[in-house]
Amino acid sequence: MFSKKPTTIQEQIAQLQKRGLQIPNVPLAEKYLANISYYRLGEYWYVMQEDKEKHTFKPNSRFSDVIALYNFDAELRLLLFDVIEKIEISLRTKLIYNLSHEIDPWWFSNSSIFIDTLQFTRTLSKIEEEITRARSKDVTIKSHYNKHKDDLRFPPSWKSLEQVSFGNLSKLYGNLIHTVKAKDGIAQEFGAVNHTYLPSWLQSIAQIRNFCAHHSRLWNRNLPGTVKLLPKPPNPWIIDSDNVPKQHEFSKLYVHMCLMKYLLNTIQTNNQFTTRLNDLFIKYPNVDPNALGMKPDWDKEPLWQ
């Protein structure tokens, strides 16, 4: 049975010092722990511990390095959230435009164009929840229902899907039957050749987006899921075969950032993703790029130019 009792901030600091973490500025540490929980910061000092059972630290482990890792991770999430926003808006736009023209404005509620009926039902239920929430807040949705009281359908996709999460958008795309022309068409616009590869990219990026939105750690994290890499990408990719992430490295952030960069390059040619990411590593030199699965000279590859 769990029996640990809560500890005061002063007790937390004393315990960390006893275990070998250097904390020369105690008042500053108290300030941090008053605003960032001990448990959350623990995710960053865990790798500094020499004995994971006794929680003792390696020599020269510093509280300032823990904070640097925490700040690096926070800034990395902000950077990736900005990149993912552009990908999300682009995907939303392409889905709405292409499928509204190919099928009709209510294509997303048409079960006949989806592969997995059960998944379609679940996704549509979530979409309905998102639109229902928006009905009381969003001017466009509220106005639509007021003007079209007799129309029992959802608002058309250009209104409805603006309220839908990236995760549900990626599920809609991945579940489309392969005879829908837009499925391959959208993949081609993103440089993903066909529908075989893009769904796994979008699902992984949607998961990372959720980590960013909930302020969860990305540094040194094993990410769930996997992705399918193009054997011969039509757009600039990675030349050095040793720098192409291998299957066992797909749990690291690097491969997912590569896919974000690949997609972003089709949306915004002269983007600053490389510069901003490189600047982060320069700003926080104590951060080990290997914890993210980064490759040597990653920024010299055509993908990141």
pTM assigned to the model? 0.94
CA dihedral sign of residues 31, 36, 37, 40: negative
Closest among 214, 212, 218, 182 to 198, alpha carbons compared: 182
Q: Is 189 exposed, middle or buried (0-12, 13-18, 19+ CB in 10 A)?
A: middle
Q: pLDDT at position 221, please?
A: 93
What are the structure tokens assigned to 289, written together? Answer: 């790029």
d(CA 113, CA 120): 10
d(CA 198, CA 211): 20
What are the structure tokens assigned to 73, written together? Answer: 């991770």
d(CA 209, CA 77): 9
Q: pLDDT at position 2, please?
A: 75
d(CA 43, CA 64): 14
pLDDT in tens, 149-203: 888 899 999 999 999 999 999 999 999 999 999 999 999 999 999 999 999 999 9
Q: pLDDT at position 76, please?
A: 98
Which residues of the chain register pLDDT less than 50? none
pLDDT in tens, 208-226: 999 999 999 999 999 987 8
What are the structure tokens assigned to 199, written together? Answer: 């769904």
